[in-house]
Chains A and B, each alone.
Chain A
Amino acid sequence: MKRFGVQIPQVFIIVFLVLMVVLALGFEIPMNWIISDALVRLVMNGVLVLSLVPMLKAGIGINFGLPVGIVAGLLGLCISVNLRMKGLWGLSAGMLFSVPVAILLGYGYGAILNRVKGKEEITATFVGFSFIPLMNFFWTIAPFSNPAMLWPIGGKGMRPVIGLKSYFAKALNHLWMVEVMGVKIPVGLLLFFALLCLLLFVFFRTNFGRAMTAVGENEQFARLAGVNVARVRTWAIILSTMIAALGICVYAQSYGFIELYDAPLMMAFPAASAILVGGSMGRHTHIAHVVIGTFLFQTTYLISGPIANEMMLPEVAEIFRLMITNAIILYALLYEGGKRHDVG
């Protein structure tokens, strides 16, 4: 069991999930809808969760400054909508536009985090929190011109929510969609996620990727081996920011709206929960943790809603879900802390 990263908390959440599936069957909630939605949710959130990996591997900790990357992605998407680009092209253009922004922001973000070694997570949290108000200011004065994006009363500045239906909503979701026994399988979406996972996997097999892992494992050793630690850390942060930017592009096309202003503020937390639920223990993070964690975390979310409504006990399922997921995160943090204690 341990070899596959399956620990007590995962067993717990799997049992909880199975229990809910049984209940859902009992209440005759259509399972084909649930499975279709679970697949979409996996990728929709999975890319954001995947973006945590480079920073975790490089020993910088959980990227609570995820909003930085998200903002880069949002900016890319807005540029694409402003140019009225449609379909997969529009989405790809949005992703493409967001990459340079992410590199730039990631570089600055990396410079900040390199100054606060050992306190990266709390600093990152506040970088995220202070960056969003700054961007709120930016969105109100941003010089975009597509009237579909501007405030309906004032006519200037960006709306909080921008509809994507005539641009690229669900462009990736509907790519190569096949239906098997009533279950809609978004093949294109899944392949895109698989490709990203594979690229990241391959990246960590390259010399540079190995150097990144080495910095995470033992910084002193890496430095002695001739690795430029600050540079590697900065690149890990840039990489995380870039993947986060792609992540929000995937998220927005699936949701069908671009959400600006305060929407990205709390997005780091469910992503962090997901990767911890998946069994990530700080530096010991694998891509499998991302996939397992996102699937379990999002599916409990997905299925607890309809069950709660059927049971007429809306609070109970919600409380259970929160209790279990939060307890797992606490366990993960404790376990990681304990191991550090053993080593030190």
Chain B
Amino acid sequence: MKKTFLLSAMVMLVSLMAGLCFAGPAKEYRIGIVTPTLSASEDEFRGAIRVADKYPGVIKHISLPENYQEEQETAITQILSLADQADIKAIIIAAGYSGILPAIQKVKARRPDMVVITAPIWDDPDMMVKYIDLCLDTDWVRRGITIPEKAKKMGAKTFIHYSFPTHMAKEVLAKRRDTMKATCERLGMKFVALNTPDPKTGAGSTPMLQFLSEDIPRQIAKYGKDTCIFGTNCPMQDVIIAQALELKFIMAEQCCPTPTQGFPAAMELEITEKDAGNFDKINAMIAQKAAAAGCTGRLSTWPVPVGYFFPEFATEVAMKMIEGDLKDVGVETLAPLAREVAGVDVYFEKMKPELNNYYLIVMDSVFY
């Protein structure tokens, strides 16, 4: 039984390789992909599964503990277990958590040849670049410029930024807010920073979401419907988009820009199993619902979720690195590969000029 399975897997692998015109026989190595669980983050999880389907037998996908914050040691053990398997030549970590670097340090101590790509993790960048071959992340701070600019283009006169103390204590998010404020001033938009109850303390997201659904109508009554609302926390997006459909204000981008965040719940998108993961279809569906609600041109996001894009992109990069086709990473080598995977333009920029293996990306937008 096992043999037949292995055989069929091999056949599939070889035929797929041939179909994709990848030179050479089946891969002699495997790549480990680490993501959060399905319920913690669908994008990364499904992204990893998609790569596993693309390269059957090559990908070893593991998911981190559901409550990562409480069980960091479990996460470290899981990542180390990948390093113990000799045929695994690369580890890709797409988690968006901090505190994973110690695991990578141990991996590198045990297996200096291991290719490690993070897409992303959130530890100290200067430390990360010493151990990690390629660090990838979304350009959160530059989005402080791109989002208000897009909002202005969509007709916004006011820009509302909803957040809460624990988020504003994070350097990147606070910096993005300040950048947004500066950009709004430059563009002549009114910038309003509002606080919601903190979901990280006490009773979870519930009070925050309740507050938002009560506060947004108040703010729109005050500032008018040419207002762009931005929230820094993922659960907020369902409420913001649902309110946007009713009150017709502008939602230029979610905190994590993707058609699969906020839109499916707020618009009750009926995505059949056949269309699931087909972003052209999903984007068309959103545009149709937006038109039905009279919100055409008021909603926008990135066409593919970054979390879905990163595992596949990082795998392609890792394969090229292992096979020796990619000696040093740079904008000129990464950008064409990213375009191939995402289907739209992806803009890379160094995180800091002096760091040569930490890149931040911004994608082209889709307007509904």
Interface residues of A (CB under 8 A from B): 30, 33, 37, 41, 133, 136, 139-140, 146-148, 150-157, 159-167, 255-257, 261-263, 265-267, 269-270, 301-302, 305-306, 308-309, 314-315, 318, 322
Asked if B178 CB lies within 8 Å of chain A CBs, one says no
Provided the pairs A154-B42, A308-B195 are in contact, do residues A257 and B265 lie with their beta carbons within 8 angstroms? yes
* Neighbouring B residues of A152 by C-beta, 8 Å: 42, 259-260, 264, 269, 271, 276-277, 282
- Residues of B close to A255: CB separation below 8 A: 209-210, 213
* Complexed CA–CA distance, A262 and B203 (Å): 12
On whether the beta carbons of B197 and A133 are closer than 8 Å, the reply is no
Chain A residues lying within 8 Å of B205, measured Cβ to Cβ, are 263
Which chain B residues numbered 266 to 300 have a C-beta less than 8 Å away from chain A? 266-277, 282
Q: Is B242 an interface residue (CB 8 A)?
A: yes
Counting contact residues on chain B (CB < 8 A from A), the size range is 35 or more
The residue in B164, B202, B210, B282 that gathers the most chain A C-beta atoms within 10 A of its C-beta is B210
Q: Does B323 contact A (CB under 8 A)?
A: no
| Contacting pair B214 A153 (CB below 8 A) | no
Once the chains are docked, how many angstroms separate the CA of A308 from the CA of B270?
Answer: 39
Beyond known contacts A309-B195, A314-B165: 19 more, CB 8 A cutoff: A33-B214, A41-B210, A146-B270, A147-B269, A148-B270, A151-B38, A152-B269, A152-B276, A153-B42, A154-B38, A154-B42, A155-B274, A156-B276, A161-B235, A165-B268, A167-B268, A263-B204, A263-B205, A266-B202
Give the complex CA separation of A166 and B43 in angstroms: 26
Distance, CA A152 to CA B269, complexed state (A): 8
Is B46 in contact with chain A by the CB < 8 A criterion?
A: yes
Is B102 an interface residue, CB under 8 A from the partner? no
B218 part of interface (Cβ distance < 8 Å): yes
Per the bound structure, the CA–CA distance linking A100 and B168 in Å amounts to 45
Q: Which residues of A have CB within 8 Å of B43?
A: 153
Mark each residue of chain B from 247 to 268: 1 if its CB lies under 8 Å from any CB of chain A, else 0: 0000000000001100011111
A148, chain B: closest CB distance, angstroms: 4
- Write the residues of chain B forming the contact surface with A, with a CB cutoff of 8 angstroms: 38-39, 42-43, 46, 49, 66, 164-165, 194-198, 201-207, 209-211, 213-215, 217-218, 235, 238, 242, 259-260, 264-277, 282, 305, 308
Smallest Cβ distance from A250 to chain B, in angstroms? 14
Contacts of B211 in A (CB 8 A): 301-302, 305
Whether B274 pairs with A166 at a CB distance below 8 angstroms is no
Residues of B within 8 A of A315 (CB): 165
Q: What B residues does A266 contact at CB under 8 A?
A: 202-204, 206
Q: How far apart are A32's CB and chain B's nearest CB, in angstroms?
A: 11
User: CB distance A305 to B215 under 8 Å?
Assistant: yes
Chain B residues near A139 (CB-CB < 8 A): 39
Closest to A38 in B: B214
